[in-house]
A = this chain, B = another copy of it.
Amino acid sequence: MLLSKSFNKINIKRLSTLKKKIMTCKKLAPVGITDKNINENVVKLQYAVRGPIPSRAIEIEKDLKNKKEGKYAFSRTIRANIGDAQAMGQKPFTYVRQMISAISLLSLESNHREALNYLPSDVVLRAKEIVDSMDGKSMGAYTNSTGIARISQNVQTYIHERDAKGHGELSKDIQNILKNQSESISGVVDMDDGFQSEHVFLSAGASAAIRTMLTLLIGSKNVKQSGIMIPVPQYPLYSASIDEYNMKSIPYYLNESNGWSMEIEELERSLEQHKAKCTPRAIVVINPGNPTGNVLTLENLVKIVQFAYKNNLIILSDEVYQYNVYDKNLKFYSMKSVVKELGLPITLASFHSISKGYFGECGLRGGYCELYNASDFTWNMIKKVLSVNLCPSTISQSVIDLLVNPPKKDEISFNQYYNDMDAVLSELKLKAQMVTDKLNEIEGITCNPVKGAMYAFPQIQIPEKAILKAKELKVEPDSLYCMELLENHGVCVVPGSGFLQKPDTYHFRTTILPPKELLTEMLEIIKQFHYEFTKKYA
Contacts and interface: CB of A to CB of B under 8 A. Distances in A.
A148 to B, nearest CB: 10
Contact of A33 (B33, B90, B381): B381
Interface string A359-402: 11111110000000111011001001101111111111000000
A309 B340 CA distance: 58
A72 to B, nearest CB: 20
Contacts of A70: none
A140 B92 contact: yes
A232 to B, nearest CB: 19
A101 B105 contact: yes
A39 B2 contact: no
Interface residues of A, number: 150
Q: Among A11, A309, A393, which residue has the most Cβ atoms of chain B within 10 A?
A: A393
Interface string A125-147: 00000000011101111111100
Nearest to A195: B30
Interface stretch (A218-226, A322-330, A485-493): A218-226
B101 A215 contact: no
Interface in A21-51: 21-22, 24-25, 28-35, 37-43, 45-47, 50-51
B118 A215 contact: no
B47 A308 contact: no
Interface in A149-200: 160, 164, 167, 171-172, 175, 178-179, 183-190, 193, 195-196
Nearest to A313: B31
7 contacts: A30-B195, A37-B281, A46-B384, A86-B138, A115-B117, A141-B362, A207-B390
A393 B395 contact: yes
Nearest to A9: B168
A184 B390 contact: no
Stoichiometry, as copies per complex, reads 2
A112 B42 CA distance: 45
Interface in A455-501: none
B343 A387 contact: no
A100 B104 contact: yes
B216 A33 contact: yes
A309 B25 CA distance: 12
Interface string A220-246: 110000000000000001001100101
Contacts of A271: none
Nearest first, the 7 A-B pairs at minimum CB distance are: A86-B140, A363-B394, A87-B141, A87-B135, A32-B347, A50-B387, A115-B115
Nearest to A144: B58
Contacts of A432: none
A82 interface: yes
A415 interface: no
A108 B114 contact: no
A255 interface: no
Contact of A375 (B4, B33, B396): B33
A114 B123 CA distance: 14
A1 B348 CA distance: 14
A205 interface: yes
A119 interface: yes
A359 B278 CA distance: 48
Contact of A364 (B37, B51, B218, B395): B395
Given A175-B14, A188-B1, A196-B4, A141 B30 contact: no
A333 to B, nearest CB: 15
Contacts of A7: 164, 167, 171
A345 interface: yes
